[in-house]
Amino acid sequence: MRFVGICQYDGSSYSGFQSQKNASSIQDHLELAISSIGLLEERINYAGRTDAGVHATQQIFDFSSESHREKSQWLKGLNSLLPNDISVSSIQKAPEDFHSRFDAINRSYAYVIYTGKTQPIFLRDYVYWEKNEIDIEIMRAEASTLVGQHNFSSFRGSKCTAKNPVRTLHSIDINQKDDFIIISLCANAYLYNMVRIIVGTLLDISKGSKKNMKTILNAKDRKIAGKTAQAQGLFFTGAQYKKINLSLQKDVANPLSFLIGSGK
């Protein structure tokens, strides 16, 4: 029987979601917890690989087990066994051929920037602190250039192994609340470090760089784009599917609901 779950995690203490040798990962903790409750037939699947220091408000994963457990037993059992920086918010049955990664039609990320004058000590693992003044209207105008299907070679990290650099960015929204700026992206898929490079480039341009997104995009050259923004401000906020209906919560998808107690 196949199950699909939604989990949240603070990625500060982990090497990333995907299991790695000699490093602590979210995947390893989830699989250990599942195996402690029932028989895990194979490794779990997941919607999006997040790197070290990256967080998730709604990561999707699925697993197969023939152990007879109710959904409530899986949910309560997992959360009793997982460390306190990983939490499973829901478990439901899924079609036997469901795959969190391959069946996802789009994935969403959010990047949080803090623009206050002093270092946000208690938020430093969850935001990028920008010390200089930035023009949010310039960021919005430049970001709009990226919407649509493009070759995103200028925004792929050096470790990217994808054979095809073409991706479809459905939307990129930039909103501000108090001293926080949140950049929300939705795409069919992403190249390695794509979101962080886009954010770093937008920040460079907003602070007076003479570059522009159209030129950078058309260059298909990583050296033309800006720096890679740090991992700490990045959150994986969900995925969508045609095969199943997941009850993703909009307020939970917004990292500001965790940071300042508001889903707006």
pLDDT reported for residue 222: 95
Residue 34 gets which letter from DSSP? H
What pTM value is reported for the model? 0.94
- The structural architecture, per CATH, of the domain 105-235 is 2-Layer Sandwich (3.30)
Q: Are 78 and 88 in contact (CB under 8 A)?
A: yes
* Beta bridge mates, 73: none
Q: For residue 91, give the 3-state DSSP assignment.
A: strand
Residue (of 55, 97, 72, 106) closest to 235 by Cα position: 55
Q: Mean pLDDT, to the nearest integer, of 36-42?
A: 89
Q: Of residues 10, 51, 103, 204, which has the active-site annotation?
A: 51
Positions of CATH 3.30.70.580 in the chain: 2-102
DSSP states along 176-190:
EETTEEEEEEEES--
Positions of CATH 3.30.70.660 in the chain: 105-235
105-153 pLDDT, tens digit each: 999 999 999 999 999 999 999 999 999 989 999 999 999 999 999 999 9
Q: What is the mean pLDDT of the chain?
A: 93
HSE-up of residue 34 (Cα within 13 Å, Cβ side) = 27
Q: Mean pLDDT, to the nearest integer, of 34-40?
A: 91
Q: Taken in order 135, 141, 147, 150, is the CA torsion positive or negative?
A: negative
CATH 3.40.50.620 fits 2-102, yes or no: no
HSE-up of residue 145 (Cα within 13 Å, Cβ side) = 17
The pLDDT of residue 263 is above 50: no
51 noted as active-site residue: yes
Residue (of 18, 66, 63, 17) closest to 42 by Cα position: 63
Tokens at 256, concatenated: 């500001």
190-244 pLDDT, tens digit each: 999 999 999 999 999 998 888 899 999 999 999 999 999 999 999 999 999 999 9
* Beta bridge mates, 209: none
Radius of gyration of the chain (CA): 19
Q: Mean pLDDT, to the nearest integer, of 35-49?
A: 91
